[in-house]
Structure 1
Amino acid sequence: MSALPEDSPRERILATATRLFAERGYDATSTRAIGDAVGLNIATVAYHVGAKPELYREVMRRAHLAQREVVAEALVRLHACDPTPEETRAALLAFVDDYLTFCLRRPEVPALWMRRWLAEGADHSDIESEFAGPLVAEVAAAVRAVLDRAGLGPGADVEMLVFTIVWTSHSFGQAGVIDPAGTRRGPLDLPVLDRFRRHLHTVVTAVLDQGA
């Protein structure tokens, strides 16, 4: 089946719903608000995408697929590295950089997941069990295998490391940091972005050095 054109009613509804769910959260976003933003009535919205729960699930499914595509490609590169400690360490840091770059290029995806961290759409727990949980487990298993191959991080909690990368990348991309003057500085501030990236590398490297 060919993809729908980006200006089709369904695609416009999904794009708008993605933006509003990311900005306001599931509970504060009504189907009427989505329809108004697109210029369609509720009945037309429902015809193209179903009721609000179905629409939200499709938004989260697409967010997951975008996330999974980047992660899968990064895992291929990670597995392809030479099995030496030096090359494995560098490859894992490149994996971290790939994920951070994704978060900065697709800010709506981290925003959607962070809304869920705040218990938005709590009655849709299957989203975690079907999307987030399996992906984290897959990444943790893949990273553990690559580390074992290189003799790195025998005492590391790899699953918690994966969560740490996700938490920090999502949070920095959305909120940045606050400087001593109280000014929020985000990823568009390149020195701050470079500082954050170096700090994240330091954290990852420290975890890998456990038990070394």
Structure 2
Amino acid sequence: MSITITAFERSPDGGKGLARDTRVRWALEEVGQPYDVRYVSFQAMKEPAHLCLHPFGQIPTYEEGDLALFETGAIVFHIAEQHTGLLPKDAHARARAIAWMFAALNSVEPSVLELVIVKFQEGDKPWSKERLPLVADRIRQRLGQLSTRLGDADWLDGAFSAGDLLMVSVLLRTRPSGILDEFPNLAAYVARAEARPAYQRAFAAQLAANTGKSLAG
């Protein structure tokens, strides 16, 4: 059965890899599964056909035969469960990798998204300038804890896993603010993940879809 995911017709980030379809593309590339992409406009995302796939009118979605999924965490978890390469075979290591998936989306990403909202959606509010440093400090606290746990290891728990894939995807959103560079081991961790051939293919596909350009130019 072929796999089809949805993505922005024109991503708000211009193809820089921050849209959530990149996470799903990356996971599929890691496990060597081909996929098709159906590009959806902002208007189409709110129409009944798409709302049947994603009740909150967002992207990405995942379709494979009779199965339709939404939410990147659920999609990446499904991919990791169905194919080798993203979850360890050892039961305990597998459970820890899944815990890191939850940690990325539940413990780290909320404050990162809050920063994006304050800067770009609430930037014209009179209180946004006062709120921004508070949100940034909350991110620093989380990244400080993550930095301590990672230490000088290459990945969060042994070999690269779906936990690293989601954590790096979240950390990438902190790079434009400069906060990521305050934690050299986390910046190196992200760079290692970006160097993976699977990530390079996923990034290139998203970039080409939005700009018509390849990584080479």
TM range (shorter): 0.3 to 0.5
Instruction: Name the structure with the higher helix share.
Output: 1
| Structure ID, larger Rg | 1
Instruction: Name the structure with the higher strand share.
Output: 2
Normalised to the residue count of structure 1, the TM-score between the two structures is 0.33
Normalised to the residue count of structure 2, the TM-score between the two structures is 0.33
User: Which gives a bigger RCO, structure 1 or 2 (Cα 8 Å, sep 6+)?
Assistant: 2
